[in-house]
Amino acid sequence: MKTDSKTIIGVFGSEDSLMDALCRLMAENLEPTEIYTPYPIHEAMRVLKRRSKISWAAWFYGFFGGIAVLSFLYYTAVIDWPLIYGGKPFNAFPSFITVTLVLIILIVTIFTLLTFSVRSKIYPFKKALILDERVTDDKFIIVFDADKFDRDQLFTSLREASAEEIIEK
């Protein structure tokens, strides 16, 4: 992410050269602010200790969504306006399961997408903070906050890590 302070960017031409560089830089305690890649690289996420709790959030939405749906069905079918359909009890639980399942799926989808949008700050009309336009095509970049590291050491390390280009912004 671009900040007010200067950033130093190492550009790499392939996944393998990015991974080699990333491991080498991490070993030198040069932890980047962020990396940008044209496709997800799981190994890099492991090295950078990136974690996502989105599946836990989804479980949470599903669990409480399910309780909400069943409560709604119970309230409307048993308390508010009970009607007998085909001799079934008012609380015809087995035939509530299907619609509960479908609504849980709907709730999980909507809230998971919203969570993704909020956490990743991905939403309509957002202006992208592009550091290098080539990252969505064929380049892999490692971004450092220039204020946190010694500039010369960073340049030397990036060069040693076979960066194709080093850019200061």
Partner 1 sequence: MSYATEIRGPLVLGNKKLSQVSDDIVAPIGKPPGIWWYIAMFVASLMLVYGAYALYITLTVGIGSWNVNNQVAWGWDIINFVWWIGIGHAGTAFSIFLLLLRQTWRTSINRAAEAMTVAAVICAALFPLIHMGRPWLFYFIAPYPNTRGPLWVNYNSPLFWDFMAISAYLLISASFWYLGMIPDFATIRDKTASKVKKMVYGVLSFGWTGSSREWIRYEGTGFVLGGIAAVLVVSVHSIVSTDFASSVVPGWHTTLFPPYFVVGAIFSGFAMVMTLMILIRKMYKFQDYVTNSHLDAIARILVFVSLIMGTAYLTEIFVAWYSGNQYELFLIFENRITGKYAYEFWAMFICNALIPQLFWSKKIRRNLTVALIISLFINLGMWYERFNIIVTSLSRSYLPSMWADYSPSHIEVGLFLGTIGLFSTAILLFFRYVPMIAIHEVKSVLKHYEREHGMGEPKSDTP
Pick out residues in 71-90 that bind partner 1 (CB under 8 A). Answer: 72-73, 76-77, 80-81, 83, 85-86, 88
Are 147 and 46 in contact by the 8 Å Cβ rule? The answer is no
Contact residue for partner 1 among 1, 3, 160, 169 (CB under 8 A) = 1
Amino acid at 120: S
- With binding defined as CB under 8 A, does residue 30 bind partner 1? no
Q: For partner 1, which residue of 3, 106, 148, 151 counts as binding (CB under 8 A)? A: 106
Beta strands of 100-168 (E only): which ranges?
Answer: 140-145, 165-168
- Report the nearest approach of partner 1 to the CB of residue 30 (Å): 16
Residue linked to tokens 């479908």: 102
Chain residues 111-130 in contact with partner 1, contact rule CB under 8 A: 112-113, 115-117, 119-130
Does position 138 interact with partner 1 (CB under 8 A)? The reply is yes
Give CA torsion, residues 124, 132, 159, 148, to 10 deg. Answer: -50
- Binder among 19, 68, 92, 166 for partner 1 (CB under 8 A): 92
The helix or strand, by DSSP H or E, that contains position 36, with its residue range, turns out to be strand 34-36
Least gap, CB of 25 to partner 1 (angstroms): 14
Residue from 6, 105, 150, 169 binding partner 1 (CB under 8 A) = 105
Q: Does 3 engage in binding with partner 1 (CB under 8 A)?
A: no
Burial 23-62 (b: 16+ CB within 10 A, else e): eebeeeebebbebbbeeebeebeebbeeeeeeeebbeebb
Cα 13 to its chain centre, rounded Å, is 24
Q: Is residue 5 a contact point for partner 1 (CB under 8 A)?
A: no
Smallest distance, partner 1 to C-beta of residue 17, A: 6
Cβ closer to partner 1: 130 or 150? Answer: 130
